[in-house]
């Protein structure tokens, strides 16, 4: 990082004045840009109209100039431009390398073919610095914009963003041959800027250049013999055309009196006032419709956000339910006390005995079970059911419930 230089008070006043009406956090932009201008003295501020990738045009602050870097121990500089969006620092700056007539772009991992710089620091800018609203507690050497410029300078040191334009491309092609040459004044020689890192470029196949100021040779043609022409006799005037020319002013006056003047016979001022009032009414109606449409659009966006949140919560609930283990039915349908659990078991046993007696009776009626076997099992089941009902009635008396018949 270079040594900080003092900025002229006029520049600071101008910078503060132009930032106020355009930027959401003008004070933060003013502090960051002032710090960068103090460190990188080759940069200058200005305001320009910027067209983004969506076709929107906005008046933005623009830093332009050159950034110094080193390659193999030799000093070089690259022309850059930095655009600051109006939402800065929530949105990152846009950085371009702008080649001049003596240089060409050198695309690499952090710069595309148009000269725009892409860096992980810019990609994560909104997440890292988007919530910052002031420089309180931030050291000058840790300033977000200064860190960005130092990072870009380090990238330039590792790989040059531009290289010197080859001589075969720097010179313009010779003009085509002229038929009549004229003396041309010699132009003074312009000194070239310091050399930049060169990039090997294959030179095209040399072709013979055309001869300058060569007079084209035309084939000789036989000289044409003059031809004597005889003038035709004069043509008499057209009487119909003359009549139309005489009647034209009267016809125009008639059209003026019959068609044009009646249109303006009334009060033209009142007509214009009426038309203007209708235009005002239409404009007011248009504005009202735009306001209503904007309100509906905001409401739709709000509803869309609510629906999206509900869908996200529903998705989380479904994922949580799918990942949860299956519940134990016996534990889910459990009574409040041990006595109630015992009563539930007795009721289930009583119902199962009743079902068994019914099935056993049907089997006896069908002849599938002999009478002796039927009586034996029926007596055992009836005795067990009696004991179950007695215990159920006892528990019901203790818990003050209805007794079982």
Per-residue pLDDT reduced to its tens digit, 284-303: 889 999 999 999 999 999 89
Closest CA to 78 of 43, 46, 36, 34: 43
Residue 405: pLDDT band with limits 50, 70, 90: low
Per-residue pLDDT reduced to its tens digit, 220-273: 444 444 445 444 454 455 666 778 888 888 888 888 778 776 666 556 677 677
Q: Which of the residue ranges 83-87, 381-385, 397-401 would you say has the lowest mean pLDDT?
A: 397-401
pLDDT on residue 56? 85
Q: Residue 309: exposed, middle, or buried by beta-carbon count in 10 A (0-12, 13-18, 19+)?
A: exposed
E strand or H helix at 49, and its extent? strand 43-51
- pTM of the model as a whole: 0.44
CA distance 80 to 3: 20
Whether the pLDDT of residue 384 is over 70: the answer is yes
Per-residue pLDDT reduced to its tens digit, 131-185: 998 888 889 889 999 999 999 999 999 999 998 888 766 555 555 544 444 443 4
What number of CA atoms fall less than 13 Å from residue 163's CA on the CB side? Answer: 12
Helix (H, G, I), strand (E, B) or coil at 82: strand
Q: Which two tokens stand for residue 278?
A: 């209708």
Question: At 48, phi and psi to the nearest 5?
Answer: -140, 160
Which superfamily, per CATH, for 9-164?
Ubiquitin Conjugating Enzyme (3.10.110.10)
């Amino acid at each position: 990082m270079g040594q900080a230089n003092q900025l002229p008070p006029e520049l600071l006043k101008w910078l503060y004045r132009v930032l106020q009406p355009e930027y959401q956090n003008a004070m933060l932009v003013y502090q960051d840009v002032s710090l960068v201008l103090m460190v990188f003295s080759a940069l200058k501020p200005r305001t320009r109209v910027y067209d983004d990738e969506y076709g929107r045009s906005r008046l933005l602050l623009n830093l332009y100039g050159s950034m110094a870097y080193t390659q193999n121990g030799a000093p070089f500089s690259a022309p850059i431009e930095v655009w600051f969006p109006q939402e800065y620092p929530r949105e990152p700056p846009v950085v371009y390398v702008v080649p001049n007539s003596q240089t060409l772009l050198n695309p690499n991992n952090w710069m595309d073919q148009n000269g725009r710089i892409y860096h992980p620091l810019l990609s994560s800018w909104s997440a890292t610095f988007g919530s910052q609203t002031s420089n309180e507690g931030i050291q000058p050497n840790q300033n977000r914009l200064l860190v960005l410029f130092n990072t870009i300078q380090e990238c330039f040191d590792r790989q040059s963003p531009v290289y010197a334009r080859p001589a075969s491309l720097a010179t313009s092609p010779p003009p085509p041959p002229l038929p009549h040459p004229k003396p041309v004044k010699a132009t003074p020689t312009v000194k070239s800027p310091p050399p930049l890192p060169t990039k090997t470029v294959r030179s095209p196949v040399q072709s013979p250049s055309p001869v300058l100021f060569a007079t084209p040779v035309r084939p000789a043609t036989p000289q044409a013999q003059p031809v004597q022409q005889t003038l035709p006799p004069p043509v008499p005037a057209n009487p119909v055309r003359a009549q139309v020319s005489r009647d034209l002013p009267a016809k125009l006056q008639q059209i003026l009196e019959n068609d044009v003047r009646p249109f303006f016979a009334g009060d033209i001022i009142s007509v214009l006032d009426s038309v203007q009032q209708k235009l005002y009414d239409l404009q007011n109606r248009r504005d009202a419709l735009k306001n209503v449409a904007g309100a509906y659009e905001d409401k739709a966006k709000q509803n869309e956000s609510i629906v999206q949140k509900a869908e996200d919560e529903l998705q989380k609930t479904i994922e949580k339910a799918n990942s949860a283990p299956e519940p134990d039915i016996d534990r889910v349908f459990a009574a409040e006390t041990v006595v109630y659990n015992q009563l539930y078991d007795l009721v289930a046993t009583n119902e199962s005995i009743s079902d068994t007696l019914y099935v056993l009776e049907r089997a006896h009626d069908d002849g599938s079970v002999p009478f002796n076997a039927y009586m034996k099992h029926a007596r055992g089941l009836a005795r067990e059911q009696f004991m179950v009902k007695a215990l159920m009635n006892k528990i019901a008396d203790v818990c003050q419930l209805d007794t079982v018949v």
